[in-house]
């Protein structure tokens, strides 16, 4: 009896854990199939200059449209793509697709427009990462200076040497770099100074907690100050109401992104939205 149990794997895992692993394997297969069947798509969320309210660019965000028509959130499937290695192929597709979109927008006259693309730490560490970046530019004709890569602070943390040399290479290619979810990963500030980073993205959690009463003590305010001191652009994520936009503007935060301005939208809606926004 013990033997059969061992063969079926139940000796190693608790019942729940076994179910969890099977569930994850199923999801991994479903994700790969979805990718092959082109059910993974990109949506784009505009990024705005807080003082002029003009659009400066957009962030590309992955969506998985499930068989039931529901969207599965990237927070759920990115870790699975990372663990299965699919993220390498998927991430290359994301960059190429976002670059194609950038080229199309430029052809329609939106020439002062930065395309931001999220990059996983698994991609970042991959030996072909820089080659993949160059290839995406070559294949699409996208100008490197209008492409920004968003990396999370955790990448920035654990292998400083790799990080510094990779960022140097990215700058040589001509792309910009943003630190995503800034403030959540405890980077050392002296280390940040050595990195060729262009932007800090204030995590939504810190935008959420800003109030006038907290003036002088909020994390968001400290990040904005840090940006000024280190000569980095700061963008606030997850701005949902005018009150937050107003406080951020007064604190000297130059850029913002959030539901107040626009939700992430399908590529076919983006040019129309941009045109409409320009007119206002």
Question: Which residues contact Mg ion (rule: CB under 5 A)?
Answer: 118, 150, 180-181, 237
Phi, psi of 179 (to 5 degrees): -95, 115
Kindly state the smallest distance separating residue 43's Cβ from ligand C2E, in Å: 7
Task: Select 18 or 130, whichever has its Cβ closest to ligand C2E.
Answer: 130
Pick what 75 binds: ligand C2E, Mg ion, none; C-beta below 5 to 8 Å, kind-dependent: ligand C2E
First to last CA, the chain: 73
d(CA 238, CA 228): 21
Closest Cα partner for 230 from 179, 261, 193, 280?
Answer: 193
What six digits make up the tokens of 133? Answer: 């970046």
Tell me which H or E stretch contains 103: helix 86-107
Using CB under 6 A, list all residues that contact ligand C2E.
45, 61-62, 73-75, 78, 91, 94, 118-120, 150, 180-181, 204, 237-240, 257-259, 264
Partner touching 234 among ligand C2E, Mg ion, none, CB below 5 to 8 Å by kind: none
DSSP 265: B
Quick one: which of 266, 257, 279, 275 has its CA closest to 101? 266
Given the complex with ligand C2E, which of 150 and 221 has the nearer CB atom?
Answer: 150
Count other C-beta atoms under 10 Å from residue 183's C-beta. 19
- Provide the minimum distance between the beta carbon of 183 and Mg ion in the complex, in angstroms, as a whole number: 10
Chosen from Mg ion, ligand C2E, none, partner binding at 74 (C-beta under 5 to 8 Å by type):
ligand C2E
Tokens of 90: 């998927």
Q: Which residue, 10 or 80, is less far from Mg ion as judged by CB?
A: 80
Q: Using CB distances below 5 to 8 A depending on partner kind, what does residue 247 bind out of Mg ion, ligand C2E, none?
A: none
Tell me how far, at minimum, the Cβ of 15 lies from ligand C2E, in Å: 31
Q: Which is nearer to ligand C2E, 192 or 265 (CB)?
A: 265
Both structure tokens of 112:
């002062």
């Amino acid at each position: 009896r013990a033997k059969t149990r061992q063969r079926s794997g139940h000796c190693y895992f608790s019942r729940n854990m076994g179910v969890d692993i099977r569930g994850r394997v199923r999801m991994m297969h479903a994700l790969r199939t979805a990718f092959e069947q082109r059910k993974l798509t990109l949506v784009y969320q505009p990024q705005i200059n807080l003082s002029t309210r003009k659009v400066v660019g957009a962030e590309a965000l992955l969506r998985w449209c499930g068989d039931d028509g529901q969207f599965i959130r990237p927070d759920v499937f990115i870790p699975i793509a990372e663990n299965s290695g699919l993220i390498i192929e998927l991430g290359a597709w994301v960059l190429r697709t976002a670059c194609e979109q950038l080229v199309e927008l430029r052809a329609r006259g939106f020439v002062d427009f930065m395309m931001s693309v999220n990059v996983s730490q698994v991609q970042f560490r991959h030996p072909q990462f820089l080659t993949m970046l160059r290839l995406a530019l070559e294949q699409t004709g996208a100008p490197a200076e209008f492409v920004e890569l968003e990396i999370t602070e955790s990448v920035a943390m654990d292998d400083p040497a790799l990080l510094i040399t990779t960022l140097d290479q990215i700058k040589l290619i001509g792309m910009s770099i943003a630190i995503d979810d800034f403030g959540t990963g405890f980077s050392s500030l002296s280390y940040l100074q050595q990195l060729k980073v262009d932007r800090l993205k204030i995590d939504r959690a810190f935008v959420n907690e800003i109030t006038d009463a907290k003036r002088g003590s909020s994390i968001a305010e400290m990040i904005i100050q840090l940006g000024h001191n280190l000569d980095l652009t700061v963008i606030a994520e997850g701005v949902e109401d005018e009150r937050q936009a107003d406080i951020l503007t007064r604190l000297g935060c130059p850029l913002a992104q959030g539901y107040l301005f626009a939700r992430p939208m399908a590529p076919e809606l983006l040019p129309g939205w941009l045109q409409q926004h320009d007119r206002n």
